[in-house]
């Protein structure tokens, strides 16, 4: 076989253009010349790795899982106990190499080849907060995402961490144009996390559906009123905030459902002063409002008073219980006025 130095670069580019992603990765390992040539190629010259889903899971080991178009899972385990990498039942010793660096570099190669939009990208940190083994993993992950100089194209992003700074290591590197659903989670769902920087990102603003399992500090109802779906927690909410959401949602043609777990709320009497007496349906107090430009769509607002749970649900006219009052849509009502 001719050496790379004897082959014109154009010929090599053509050959690589006919290869699939795995073949190119194999070619990188043939010799240093091949590795350097491939790594210097523009992304447009490289084949698409074509994965549907990528999961990065941190626990006692590092696990990176790639789901291909045939729904086959390719699982790589980077073990800290014996400094090894396992794949398809084969284990290779990494000797003196740092397993975080090896895992990050492997992931970088896949992301470099990934051109099509992922269905999901998950980064899940299940390490105990007082005993993290891979403390700098997320910083190194952020560094490679910055080095790639292009954003991850994915429809859904799930990140399980424990701080706003941790979320912000990953969130800005996701393409906001492709992102539809954003899931921000913590291992302790009673945590309170400042998210004033997160709600300013284009990723948050462009998402259609957002789920947060922690109490989001500094988040306002204005930050969630544009969403099709929201499932999350707030430390507190006011009657004015609830009335803002009611007015905004009844004017929306895209809204589907929202659920709020509120830590502190004691203005139940004021709600009835604004919306009128509730209709009691099971254990919930409910109100129903006509939605804009629709004879069939109704906004149902329910409150589970024992838990401070609030839900907003777009339903059909036929789903409104007998005896419940349906309030007309009032376009001229101020969003904050009683």
Instruction: Reduce the secondary structure of 11-77 to three states and give it as a string.
Output: HHHHHHHHCCHHHHHHHHCCCHHHHHHHHHCCHHHCCCCCCCEEEEEECCEEEEEEECCCCCEEEEE
Range of lowest pLDDT (11-20, 150-159, 221-230): 11-20
Residue 81 pLDDT grade (very low, low, confident, very high; cuts 50, 70, 90): confident
DSSP for residue 129: T
- 236/183 Cα distance (integer angstroms): 21
- 240/291 Cα distance (integer angstroms): 19
Tokens of 63: 């696990």
Residue 322 pLDDT grade (very low, low, confident, very high; cuts 50, 70, 90): very high
Residue 70 pLDDT grade (very low, low, confident, very high; cuts 50, 70, 90): confident
Comparing 97 with 201, the larger pLDDT belongs to: 201
- 295/291 Cα distance (integer angstroms): 8
Residue 1 has pLDDT above 60, yes or no: no
- 73/88 Cα distance (integer angstroms): 10
DSSP for residue 86: E
pLDDT at 337: 45
- pLDDT winner (highest mean) among 56-70, 116-130, 195-209: 195-209
Distances (CA, A) of 279 to 46, 268, 310: 61, 14, 15
Mean pLDDT, to the nearest integer, of 276-292? 94
**Burial label, 288 (beta-carbon count in 10 A; 0-12, 13-18, 19+):** buried
- 310/246 Cα distance (integer angstroms): 12
pLDDT at 115: 87
pLDDT at 134: 85
> Tens digits of per-residue pLDDT, 113-164?
898 999 999 999 988 766 667 878 999 999 999 998 889 999 999 999 999 9
Bridge partners of residue 64, in order along the sequence: 56, 76
Kindly report the average pLDDT of the chain as a whole number.
Answer: 88
Tokens of 161: 């961490």
Residue ranges in 195-236 assigned as alpha helix (H) = 202-206
pLDDT at 178: 96
């Amino acid at each position: 076989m001719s050496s790379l130095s004897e082959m014109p670069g154009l010929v090599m580019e053509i050959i690589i253009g006919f290869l699939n992603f795995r073949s190119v990765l194999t070619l990188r390992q043939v010799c240093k010349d091949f590795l350097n040539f491939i790594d210097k190629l523009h992304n447009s010259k490289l084949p698409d790795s074509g994965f549907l889903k990528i999961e990065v899971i941190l626990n006692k080991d590092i696990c990176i899982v790639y789901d291909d178009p045939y729904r086959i899972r390719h699982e790589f385990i980077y073990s800290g106990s014996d400094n090894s990498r396992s794949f398809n039942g084969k284990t290779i010793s990494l000797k003196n190499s740092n397993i975080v660096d090896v895992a990050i570099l492997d992931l970088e190669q896949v992301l470099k080849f990934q051109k099509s939009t992922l269905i999901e990208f998950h980064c899940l940190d299940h390490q105990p907060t007082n005993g993290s083994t891979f403390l700098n993993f997320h910083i190194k992950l952020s560094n490679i995402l910055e080095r790639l100089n292009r954003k991850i194209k994915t429809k859904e992003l799930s990140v399980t961490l424990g701080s706003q700074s941790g979320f912000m290591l990953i969130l800005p590197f996701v393409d906001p144009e492709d992102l539809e659903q954003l899931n921000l989670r913590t291992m302790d769902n009673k945590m309170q996390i400042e998210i004033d920087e997160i709600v300013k990102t284009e990723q948050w603003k462009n998402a259609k559906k957002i789920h947060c399992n922690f109490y989001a500090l500094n988040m306002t109802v204005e930050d969630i009123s544009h969403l099709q779906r929201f499932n999350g927690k707030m430390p507190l909410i006011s009657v004015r905030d609830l009335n803002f959401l009611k007015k905004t949602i009844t004017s929306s043609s895209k809204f589907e459902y929202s659920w709020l777990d509120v830590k502190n709320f004691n203005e139940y009497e004021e709600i009835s002063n604004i919306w009128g007496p509730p209709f009691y349906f099971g254990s919930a107090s409910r109100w129903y409002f006509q939605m804009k430009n629709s004879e069939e769509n109704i906004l149902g607002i329910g409150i589970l008073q024992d838990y401070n749970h609030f839900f907003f649900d777009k339903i059909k006219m036929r789903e409104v219980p007998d005896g419940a009052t349906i309030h007309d849509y009032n376009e001229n009502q101020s969003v904050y006025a009683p």
